[in-house]
Structure 1
Amino acid sequence: MTPWRLQPLAQPIVLSLAFAGAAGAADTAPGVVETATVQVVGTTPLAGVGVPAAQVPAAVQSVSGARIADSGALHLGEFMARQLPGVNINETQGNPLQPDLNYRGFAASPLLGTPQGLSVFVDGVRVNEPFGDTVNWDLLPRSAIAGVDLVPGSNPAFGLNTLGGALAVRTKSGDTHPGTRVEAAGGSFGRRKAAFEHGGSDAQGLAWYLAAESFREDGWRDFSPSRASQLFGKLSRKSDLVDLDLSLTHASTRLTGNGLLPQSMYRAERDSIFTHPDRTQNELTQLALTGRWWLGDADSLTTTVYHRRTRTRTLNGDANDEFEDGPFDGVSDEESGALNRTRMKQSGSGLAAQWNLARGKHQLALGASFDVASARFMQSSQLGRLNASRGVSVEDEEEEDNEVVGRTRTASLYLTDTVALTPDLALTAAARYNVSRVKMRDQLDFVAPNLDGDHRFQKLNPALGLTWQAAPALNLYAGASQGTRVPTPIELGCADPANPCTLPNAMAADPPLKQVVARTLEAGARGRLAGIDWNAGVFRTVNRDDILFVGTSTSAGYFTNFGRTQRQGIELGLSRAQGAFDWRVNYSYLHATFRSSACLLAENNSSRGLDPACTAGGQDDEIRVKKGNRIPGLPAHSLKLALSWRAAPGLRLGADVQAFSGQYARGNENNRHRAGTSTDAFGNVRSFARGGRLPGYALLNLNGELDLGKGWQLFGRVDNVFDKRYASAAALAENPFDAAGAFQSDSGDWRRETFVAPGAPRAFWLGLRYAFGK
């Protein structure tokens, strides 16, 4: 338990345990018999027959939209990190709407360069962007979320990128969420938010729903304003034989993510930034039509057709990676900075159909899908000087570095069947066959070697699992599954260590990459005892040919296949909802390690150039990663506590705690980096500030609602109640600024140190909500 650093964790944990103890004191009255609710969950991206949770051989987590709203979380990823086991966030971007979300050690991130391992669906439409499988959390229609299912493991039914799990989001409809509601809120960091919802239906089966939301904030760090606007509409038609849903999603965001900060600068000024500007503009328009035809009492056909268009622009002010050993090194600050711009247009269309059959002992789904996507990516740079505020004052003309068009095409066929072998024993078998093609065409250089490429991938992925209702209060499950992820255009175009990319990226003619294959084993038990729902499970996922991003500086690096990696762990949970109290306790342990050995570039690691296996070719900037080394960015322990208390009629008070153990910094993949002076095998002496590991932290957050009557409701939220200083991610890099934040023109004076993603200080928000007709 050493990495927990128990003293800073004790105060919020003890307080929340006291809350949970008080809630648990309200036991069921003697003689009252509780009956369990049968929960039905989806096991495919498209709506199907639905399988009772007790027959799913995995620890599926289902959450209602009401519970997400009650938490006060700003977005879905934040809620998951606060309350769902196995989930944590790395705030690498430094923006509340751009989290790197990790589940069981697999990421769903908006950042190009993060190895993606989770697939995300909204009403059956996959929203991982085609160019890098990234997930833009700022584009999800938060107000319109009716519920989510987090499906763990390498479930092949959810298709590509389902290495560690899949997240299926369901949106609201006018018949399920009628009425009109408006709300407005504001508070710390200049944050203000307004939202509108309206839903309704008529006797002829027509239903309509509309949600709109606007978000603005100045940010708590310097130069950090952001804005986001979302619009979601759905028109539904339901009859005895056919259900149709036509939905439109539009979102426009302009986010500032100032990213990592050297620890020395963070300690001196908590709200400072490294360099600026760092802006990302996203615009999404998506149209989807979903239909379900009833072919019989237990026989239906579900289809989805969609078209999705995303435009992204980034503007990043960075230190110039080419300044060191350049013509101005040690002379002046000329060309010390660079503005890196990207423009990307992505579009995707797809068709999926699924036949659902529930007959006798079988609950079967047979489906097929076909998806095509294209992306045009342009990247340019403009050299300049880093000024007194660490912004970039441009001096040279903008130069286009890369322009590439990438196209992907995937066809899939899948089958899943849950068979009741006996009334208490169920077998689930599934398989999916994927055929993918990724093509790239260089728009600047038409002569090889260039970015042109044509890559084909195919794989059959199976899954098998058993569930056993051993007793009325005990359900056992076990399963094995396999999933794959094909390399994306960004990875295929940035895979040469001799030509690292400046992310979002600058690409070169690179060696091909293999598709990632993940195999998961999972087993556990769940049930209800004395009115308390409990679960306990173990899992192991082994990735073969995992695609990793190897950083060569604060803003550059390359992708490479890395032998094997493994993520295994334990998940434990308790929850109860009775009377005025609803409480949850979740603990998870994650042991994420490399299972192969390799030499990786790590210029800012103190152990660089020390291992004979990596210095044989004269290299002094590589480290040896060995079997058993921990994967950076992933805390081993996490504890989540949540309490909701109906203190009085119309008054609800809530609290939640998240506690995470320490983690290794990116660049410390061999776990050997230490602060101090190091001499490599060639006699080079270097100094390194700070260690390569972040300490653990714990946060207490409060939320509540007060019913004012006549449709009015007051709600509020307090984050980081004890104003803890913490960081959720780190990387080893070089700091060219002195203690006062001024650029040092002699690179010999630069400091190698740990950069961190600082967490937000204590913050307050208050809002008012009105429901018409109440």
Structure 2
Amino acid sequence: MPAPLRPSALALAAFACLAAPAGAQNVSPPATERVERIEIIGISPLPGSGVARDRVPANVQTATDEDLRRSQSRNLADFLGTALPGVSANEIQGNPYQMDLNFRGFTASPLLGTPQGLSVYQDGVRVNEAFGDVVAWDLIPQAAIAQVTLLPGANPLFGLNTLGGALVLETKRGDTHPGTEASIEGGSFGRVEVEATHGRRLGDSGHLFLAADAMNEDGWRDHSPSRVRQFFAKAGATAGGLDWDLALTHADNTLIGNGLLPETLLAADREQIYTRPDRTSNKMTMLALNGKWDVSATQRIAATAYLRHADADTLNGDLNDDYDPPDVEETGVENRTSTRQRGSGLALQSTWALEKHRLSLGAAYDRARSRFRQTEAEGMLDATRAVVDAEEAEVDAWISGHTRSTSVWAADQIALAPTLQLTLSARWQNTQVKTVDRGRAELGLDTELDADARYRKLNPAAGLTWQASPALTVFGQLSQGTRAPSPIELGCSDPDNACVLPNALQSDPPLKQVVTRTAEAGVRGRSGGLRWNAALFASENRDDLLFISNGRAAGYFKNFGKTRRQGLELGASRSSGALSWQLAYNWLRATFESPACLVSEANSSAGTDPACPAEDEIAVRPGDRLPGLPAHQLKAALQWAPSQAWSLGAHWRALSSQTVRGNENGRHEAGDDYIGSGRLGGYALLDLTASWRVADGVEVFGRIANVFDREVASAGALGENAFDARGNLLAPDQWTNERFVGPGAPRAMWLGVRVDFDR
């Protein structure tokens, strides 16, 4: 069961100041002083350097803390998948904090083995973990988020992993978000969440912001409790042309994500799990210093420096693939991993706002050290399919990884005419990835994990924006981005020595870095209260890195060849009086563009194609679709506020069918020896929200998710099922090839109360 809710000593100390009166509050300007709001978009990683949205040559998306509040999403990943156009979520782990998020066919995921293609920045710091480029959504302090910006395309200014886009998060400050709030929320799945924030000015020039969040829930599936603790503090000051702040982010979380479920067990009970436990414990502390100095009326210097410590421990209770009585009687195996990461970095940028140029020059240095250790212990599966009576653990892998990355960049927005801007940018990246096999050196393991690889690349981009009229902007852009293999990928790239991610690693043939080229063109406009946009894009990956599965949770990383993503984005929104709405449609075609032989023993077509004659291989050809990506998405949102006291909202999303992993060739068919198809059906979900200000400063809010209680699945894979419908372990010769799916949560309801102490 989760630990009881209790604030940490650090949070108690920080919130002791809440009893003091807050500083000056925001005051709305007189009506005569109000002007049309110009939305400024940050176009580089460092905060404080941006341009007007109409001059960005891409279909950029933004959301504020008010948007997050109105949606009442469970966390940032849930909000992005529910509300942002073009973003879809694969709940492959069955935990709301462990979603795969897909945008334009590229993924940001907390799971090792998932090809990562989106970079995520928090106040100028890239938070993709160095060991696998993964993104741990539970480590992002949701109560502290002020603005979310999603910049699409292979934007070179955001460096590594920016293949499909960059997600930029800005956190709150005490001078921009003053006041004290506290809320408590509870409801379905035993969920209880407490949140508190406090912002204030300090004297004439200082500011302070604090946020704390604590969440416990039992989960809707069996044996799936989770616990999340987040704390954030930011303090800073402004003196003349200098503005600086120092931010502390801390999280200590335990997540249970029991993963996919085979068709046989799903039909008997959607709430059950396959094997257990599947526990991830994340602990992270990050200190980030940001500063901006207006040297003159035309020059600004910005700087970011950070230290980041992240520890991750996993415990996975799995079926023993070697089970074969009477030779091997142990039915289960405990796979444990321990990952310790230490990162630091510094970035500097100078921007000149001249008559016809907005020129930026920057440089950054990042380094990270990681230590990874994996152990394995055989045991027995009990009646709940948990591994018990495990033997003494044996070390399978023990490595140290070092990543160093140096980069310089330049960007210039040139005013060719008052309504025509040319944007040129480029970033040169030099990345070294080194692994040291400590297990081989100190324990005598039969591994060969020493590697030292260096990756260099100059990535350019060029774009045009034309304000054809005050209500219409036309834009286009060409860009290139790269991703260097991480230590986990270099350590797991030998097909003869498959890895059990995030488990045992073996010798590593060299891997190439992924290079992505993107072309995008579109229009956006406004007419009265109506805003609309349309865009076309095409991205091609060369030497794409894929995790090639052997069908039993093991596999290896491989440079595949070419993959392509192309699509269409349409959107419209309007706000008029009490009513506001948003509508978005996205079409995506994501395909393999090179032939390959992939291991998928549970695919009915395995071994039937002369191009890939091995009995466990399937032949993938150009034009076959990438798995896990729906071709069509339609999202609609409606908000109605008939008075200042009442607000009602609805979020509806519909996604088309998708190919499951293991059916990359699209030829799998259900039959006597194969249970389940190679696709997941499309689905539509409706969420409703409401808020009611019952008194001055007191608000009651609630959400109903999956209103019609649809039984859906957002992720799937082909695999081998070892259990019958009642969950009894079968003899190995009776194991069946089935489709495994990630079942979506049933209808759920939550109700909460928020108190604003300054009203």
Short-chain TM bin: over 0.9
1:315-714 matched pairs, under 5 angstroms: 315-323=315-323, 326=324, 328=325, 331=326, 334-446=329-441, 450-615=448-613, 619-676=614-671, 687-714=673-700
Distance 1:246 1:608 in 2: 56
Q: Equivalent residue of 2:408, what SS? A: strand
- Checking the alignment, whether the CA contact within 8 Å between 2:183 and 2:196 is kept in structure 1 is yes
Counterpart in 2 of 1:51?
A: 51
Counterpart in 1 of 2:725?
A: 739
- Checking the alignment, whether the CA contact within 8 Å between 1:333 and 1:743 is kept in structure 2 is no
Q: Equivalent residue of 1:444, what SS? A: helix
Counterpart in 1 of 2:24?
A: none
Cα distance per residue 1:618-647 (max 9 Å; x no partner): x21111100000000000000010011102
- Checking the alignment, whether the CA contact within 8 Å between 1:439 and 1:452 is kept in structure 2 is yes
Distance 1:441 1:773 in 2: 55
1:259-298 matched pairs, under 5 angstroms: 259-298=259-298
Cα distance per residue 1:93-125 (max 9 Å; x no partner): 110111111111111100001000000000000
Quickly say closer, same or farther: Cα 1:509–1:333, change in 2 above 3 A: closer
Counterpart in 1 of 2:98?
A: 98
Counterpart in 1 of 2:70?
A: 70
Q: CA deviation at 1:530?
A: 4.2
Distance 1:288 1:650 in 2: 38
Q: CA deviation at 1:306?
A: 0.3
- Checking the alignment, whether the CA contact within 8 Å between 2:397 and 2:447 is kept in structure 1 is no
Distance 2:369 2:580 in 1: 46
- Letter of the 1:591 partner, please give it: R
- Checking the alignment, whether the CA contact within 8 Å between 1:339 and 1:394 is kept in structure 2 is no
Counterpart in 1 of 2:737?
A: 752
Distance 2:717 2:35 in 1: 50
Quickly say closer, same or farther: Cα 1:762–1:427, change in 2 above 3 A: same
Flag structure 1 segments of 5+ consecutive residues without an equivalent. 1-33, 678-686
Q: Equivalent residue of 1:304, what SS? A: strand
Distance 2:352 2:690 in 1: 44
Distance 1:445 1:473 in 2: 65
Distance 1:216 1:554 in 2: 32
The range that moved more, 491-500 or 247-256, is 491-500
Distance 1:58 1:429 in 2: 13
Distance 1:111 1:149 in 2: 23
The range that moved more, 342-351 or 490-499, is 490-499
Distance 1:658 1:264 in 2: 28
Q: Equivalent residue of 2:543, what SS? A: strand
Distance 1:288 1:35 in 2: 34
Q: CA deviation at 1:504?
A: 1.3
Within the alignment, does 1:763 sit opposite 2:748 as a pair? yes
- Checking the alignment, whether the CA contact within 8 Å between 2:687 and 2:703 is kept in structure 1 is yes
Q: CA deviation at 1:417?
A: 1.0
- Checking the alignment, whether the CA contact within 8 Å between 1:191 and 1:215 is kept in structure 2 is yes
- Checking the alignment, whether the CA contact within 8 Å between 1:276 and 1:392 is kept in structure 2 is yes
- Checking the alignment, whether the CA contact within 8 Å between 1:716 and 1:766 is kept in structure 2 is yes
Within the alignment, does 1:309 sit opposite 2:309 as a pair? yes
- Checking the alignment, whether the CA contact within 8 Å between 1:48 and 1:365 is kept in structure 2 is no
- Checking the alignment, whether the CA contact within 8 Å between 1:41 and 1:52 is kept in structure 2 is yes
Q: CA deviation at 1:710?
A: 2.4
- Letter of the 1:200 partner, please give it: R
Within the alignment, does 1:224 sit opposite 2:224 as a pair? yes
Q: CA deviation at 1:322?
A: 2.4
Cα distance per residue 1:541-591 (max 9 Å; x no partner): 000000011121342221111100000000000001121111100000000
- Checking the alignment, whether the CA contact within 8 Å between 1:321 and 1:553 is kept in structure 2 is no
- Checking the alignment, whether the CA contact within 8 Å between 1:604 and 1:752 is kept in structure 2 is yes
Q: CA deviation at 1:37?
A: 3.8
1:159-308 matched pairs, under 5 angstroms: 159-308=159-308
Q: CA deviation at 1:648?
A: 2.6
- Checking the alignment, whether the CA contact within 8 Å between 1:333 and 1:386 is kept in structure 2 is no
1:14-53 matched pairs, under 5 angstroms: 37-53=37-53
The range that moved more, 599-608 or 202-211, is 202-211
Q: CA deviation at 1:40?
A: 1.4
- Checking the alignment, whether the CA contact within 8 Å between 2:268 and 2:726 is kept in structure 1 is no
User: What percent of counterpart residues are identical?
Assistant: 52
Distance 2:503 2:105 in 1: 24
- Letter of the 2:201 partner, please give it: S
Aligned length: 723
Q: Equivalent residue of 1:130, what SS? A: coil
Cα distance per residue 1:601-622 (max 9 Å; x no partner): 111111111111211xxx2111
- Checking the alignment, whether the CA contact within 8 Å between 2:264 and 2:724 is kept in structure 1 is no
Q: Equivalent residue of 1:477, what SS? A: strand
- Letter of the 1:424 partner, please give it: T
Q: CA deviation at 1:395?
A: 3.8
- Checking the alignment, whether the CA contact within 8 Å between 1:123 and 1:170 is kept in structure 2 is yes
RMSD: 1.3
Q: CA deviation at 1:74?
A: 1.1
Q: CA deviation at 1:420?
A: 1.1
- Letter of the 2:561 partner, please give it: G
Distance 1:528 1:302 in 2: 33
Distance 2:251 2:371 in 1: 20
Counterpart in 2 of 1:682?
A: none
- Letter of the 1:537 partner, please give it: A
Distance 1:395 1:184 in 2: 40
Distance 2:420 2:309 in 1: 45
Cα distance per residue 1:405-455 (max 9 Å; x no partner): 000000000011111110111100000000000000001113896100000
- Checking the alignment, whether the CA contact within 8 Å between 2:447 and 2:507 is kept in structure 1 is yes
Q: CA deviation at 1:333?
A: 7.7
Distance 2:539 2:162 in 1: 12
Within the alignment, does 1:728 sit opposite 2:726 as a pair? no
Distance 1:270 1:85 in 2: 29
Within the alignment, does 1:130 sit opposite 2:125 as a pair? no
Distance 1:314 1:764 in 2: 30
- Letter of the 1:76 partner, please give it: L
TM-score normalized with structure 1 length: 0.92
Higher relative contact order (CA closer than 8 Å, sequence separation 6+): 1
Flag structure 2 segments of 5+ consecutive residues without an equivalent. 1-33
Distance 1:241 1:59 in 2: 33
Distance 1:253 1:176 in 2: 29
Distance 2:296 2:267 in 1: 66
Distance 1:675 1:550 in 2: 22
The range that moved more, 394-403 or 441-450, is 441-450
- Letter of the 2:103 partner, please give it: Y
- Checking the alignment, whether the CA contact within 8 Å between 1:152 and 1:165 is kept in structure 2 is yes
- Letter of the 2:475 partner, please give it: Y
Distance 1:649 1:250 in 2: 35
Distance 2:278 2:183 in 1: 30
Counterpart in 2 of 1:145?
A: 145
- Letter of the 2:456 partner, please give it: Q
Distance 1:123 1:622 in 2: 45
Distance 2:467 2:657 in 1: 38
